[in-house]
Structure 1
Amino acid sequence: MATAFWDRDKEGASAQSSAAPATSFWKAGHAPTLIAAFLYFDLAFMVWVLLGPLAPEISKTLGLTPAEKGLMVATPTLAGALLRVVNGLLVDRIGPKLSGAISQLIVIGGLFAAWFMGVNSFAGTLALGVILGFAGASFAIALPLASRWYPPEHQGKAMGLAGMGNSGTVLASLFAPMLAKAFGWNAVLGLACIPLSIVLVIYMVMAKDSPNQPAPRRLIDYFAPLKQGDAWWLMGFYAVTFGGFVGLAASLPIYFTDQFGLTPITAGYCTAACVFAGSLVRPMGGAMADRIGGVKALIAVYLVAALALAGVANAATLPAALGLFVLAMLALGTGNGAVFQLVPQRFQAEIGVMTGLVGMAGGVGGFYLASSLGLARQMTGSFAPGFLIFAGLAVAALVGIISVKRRWRATWSTGARI
């Protein structure tokens, strides 16, 4: 069976280039690569947000202020955002498989060094956050690695399944607080190297670059999409959907411990429930966008997210807040899949760099949300202003997607629903 999957290289390539009727999803691409992309993305996201679940313990040890806690958990998000552009360039120049291997080695080496030497200051947490940014930048590698094997009519499902690696944030929320209580939070950094190393071996065995790799271009050519307004729209839309998802994933352990006095382990369980909801629906969001169009899906996403985040700002009890966070994460996770159903419809030839650019915008949105929640808590004594402002950004995105939908449907002609 594995050999049969492995031998679908030519079938996947012809499915992309042929005008023949659409084949089933599992016959259209390269399943081992899709699985490898998911595993790489999943474990990378696990360590990308690792500082969030560990934040209550780190803060207690180092005596951090609310603003410092917010900046600590936001730093990996910003570093990952910027590094996604770098990875997008590498993907188009040396291929996604080699780019992914290099990134994984950097993260494993950085975590091992942090565990061996110890992290003893706020500056040290920021330095570690930059290293963890390489894990967050995996987004710009894993998605093109999977996407290039699949034709336009299956892009939403392929990108959604690979992107379901967002679920790695659930693993961090569930296990990091428990391991920190048992062994100390610094030991968690070393323990994380074990599953990362296992996945690296699996990745090297199973992943394979698509034969449809674009020819290398001049460095300046990679930024050509930024001259087109559609690129900025897609970046803005993802800054809200993914920015909201990852910003909440990193910040909720702090919110639950500070707002409701939960223990780090209980806060981790609550965070895991919210993050699991957003991760689970990402492939569903891609599949739904394949069926009804990414534009329709995003209109619903932004409306629900805005209402849920505004409700969180006024939630007085833990059950109310938890329910609204789950609703917000369901919407944002669906939106993540929907945006990346649209990206390859418009920028198939530049999918590597566009994945990096759009992913960067998502990371910037997450950095803003995580850091603004810490600042809001320190300046006003409440997280509410941070949630309300981000709800306003969701409303702005709703207005934006409505304003461009008619032009996109009239000018994009890929055969897939817009």
Structure 2
Amino acid sequence: MMKKMQLPLQTLNLTLGFMVWVIISALLPFIKEDIPIPTERLALLTAIPVVLGSILRIPFGYYANVLGARKVFLASFILLLFPVFYISEASSYTDLVIGGLFLGIGGAVFSVGVTSLPKYYPKEKHGLINGVYGLGNLGTAITTFTAPLIAATAGWSFTIKLFIVLLLIFTALNFVLGDRKEAKVKTPIMDEIKGVYKNDKLWLFSLFYFITFGAFVAFTVYLPNFLVSHFELDKVDAGMRTAGFIALATFLRPVGGWLGDKFKPLFLLMGVFSGLTISAILLAFSPSIGLYTLGSLTIAVCAGLGNGVIFKLVPQYFSKQAGTVNGIVSMMGGLGGFFPPLMLSAINSITGQYSIGFMALSQVALASLILVIWMYYQDRLALSDEVFRSTGQGILVTDQSGVIRAVNPEFTQLTGYSEEEVVGHKPSILKSGRQSGSFYADMWKIITRTGQWQGQIWNRRKNGEEYLELLTINAVRNDAGEVIRYVGSFSDITTTY
């Protein structure tokens, strides 16, 4: 029963963490009325919680493995009590910066659940489970939608104090319902980092999440003020539209994880980055509110699906170092939400528009699309190489002139020749002398006519021992129909002769 409680409990934990994470950005229109904030510092203020929330994801993911999710969530909610109260009493820009920095703890808890929850479910459900957990992103929507409504009548300071009550409730819930017997891993963090940092897939996944989750966070923190200042919408309307963006992206996250369980995740990412590229180009042309809404909603769809798919891929490739890798990948996603608002603000101050920033997003998304395609074909090549090297038959590959270019380990096992000893030579190095010249002439006539030959042939190992093999030779042709290589596969059948 306790294990079944962990998915809903940790999802609700993430919801609260994200609710607290965006307090400042959601209430900024109200806070500005009481605390003077320079326009050029608005983007920095909303981005500050993202920084700590991103960086802390690495240790949070690691300690979720070492200590268990229960202890990490408990400590997080207790620590969040202090910055939340401090911000509720803020009277200066500096107070907001200090409190906002520590609000990042609310965003850091993301890596706790994606590390802990897969322990309770089989691999074929990891995409869906991490996607369901990702519904906790709705916390940003809840705060963005409800906080302005409450603040409009009760004031922003009282609104923030309400979060203290929620933090106390969830501290108690985790103390009672958190799993004390969760499986734990105690590998030193530096050992885990050393084991993964040279793996190119870690950095590719980090880039992909930098784009998808970064786009989600960037639009979450930037849309409320952007819609008010650029389209002159009232604050509540802007909050509702932003909440709609967040809700759409968040509800599609488990859909992305589920699709990742059912279909090829890399194919899905190709569609995600194609959509991001097109929608960012649309936004670059500063369209009307209608087209701007269409472009933003397309980004929400692609970001939501992409977030779910990526966290299906992480445990698939990094099962033993999931905590640290989840932390690094999710940290890069959080940082992806830090830089775009600053970049857009800087570009707007220089050019008076946001077009260059959105065009930059489209180009990065296009580059990611190309990398996903490259990764897909690299995986196919790796699979082919794995089959080539692990098959139980000896295999040799020659060029069109019959010179050996590659052999597999089983070839060495059967013949005694290493790859270095045969590459550059012709297969005649294996001849036993039992077959006549006419035998080989007839064999190559058949290969030239049909592209294939199969039969029994006597060859000689490196130690001089003769053996009988069942040999199959296939001609490999290019699109023009020209032979580019020959592949021979054989097995030793001496004992059955």
Give yes or no for TM over 0.5.
yes
* Residue 63 of structure 2: aligned partner: 90
Match of 2:172 in 1: 201
Deviation at 1:410, TM superposition (A): 5.4
Q: Is the 8 A contact 1:274 1:322 kept in 2?
A: no
Tell me how far apart the structure 1 counterparts of residues 76 and 331 of structure 2 sit (CA, whole Å). 16
Match 2:42 to one of 69, 88, 101: 69
Cα deviation, residue 175, structure 1: 0.8
Which residue of structure 2 aligns with residue 102 of structure 1? 75
Query: Aligned ranges for residues 112-127 of structure 1 at < 5 Å?
Result: 112-115=85-88, 118-127=89-98
2:91 alignment partner, SS class: coil
Give the TM-score normalised by the residue count of structure 2. 0.74
| In structure 2, distance between residues paired with 1:247 and 1:343 | 23
Does 1:168 pair with 2:148? no
Using the TM superposition, give the Cα deviation of residue 211 of structure 1 relative to its aligned residue in structure 2, in angstroms. Answer: 4.4
Instruction: Work out the CA distance in 1 between the residues paired with 2:345 and 2:4.
Output: 42
Q: CA deviation at 1:367?
A: 0.3
Structure 1 CA distance for aligned equivalents of residues 173 and 16 of structure 2: 12
1:298-313 residue pairs with structure 2 within 5 A?
A: 298-313=269-284
- 1:139: which partner in 2? 110
2:190 corresponding residue in structure 1? 220
State the superposition RMSD in angstroms. Answer: 1.8
Distance 1:92 1:389 in 2: 37
| Matched residue type, 1:78 | V
Amino acid at match of 1:83: L
1:322 aligns with 2:293: yes
Instruction: Using the TM superposition, give the Cα deviation of residue 55 of structure 1 relative to its aligned residue in structure 2, in angstroms.
Output: 2.0
Equivalent position of 2:16 in the other structure: 43
2:144–2:243 CA contact under 8 A, matched in 1: yes
State the shift of 1:125 in Å.
Answer: 1.7
Task: Verify the 8 A CA contact 1:160 1:337 in the aligned structure 2.
Answer: yes
1:78 is aligned to 2:48: no
Q: Indicate how the Cα distance of structure 1 residues 210 and 378 shifts in structure 2: closer, same or farther if over 3 A, else same.
A: farther
Measured in 1, the distance between the counterparts of 2:32 and 2:280 equals 26
Q: Secondary structure at the match of 1:182?
A: helix
Distance 2:188 2:114 in 1: 22
Q: 1:401 to 1:176 in 2, by over 3 A?
A: same
Moved more, 188-197 or 331-340: 188-197
Question: Structure 1 stretch 49-58 or stretch 59-68: which is displaced more?
Answer: 59-68
Q: CA deviation at 1:210?
A: 6.3
Give 1:304 deviation, angstroms.
Answer: 0.5
Q: How many residues align?
A: 383
In structure 2, the gaps of 5 or more residues are 385-497
- Which residue of 271, 274, 278 maps to 2:245? 274
Structure 2 residue corresponding to 1:130, chosen from 76, 79, 101: 101
SS for the counterpart of 1:349 is coil
Which has more radius of gyration? Answer: 2
In structure 2, relative to structure 1, the CA distance for the partners of 1:310 and 1:51 (3 Å cut) is farther
Deviation at 1:129, TM superposition (A): 1.6
Give the distance between the partners of 2:90 and 2:358, measured in 1 at CA: 31
Runs of 4 or more consecutive aligned structure 1 residues displaced over 4 Å after TM superposition: 409-413
Matched, 1:182 2:161: no
**Could you tell which deviates more after superposition, 281-290 or 67-76?**
67-76
CA shift, 1:222, in A, is 2.6
Q: What percentage of residue pairs aligned between the two structures are identical?
A: 27
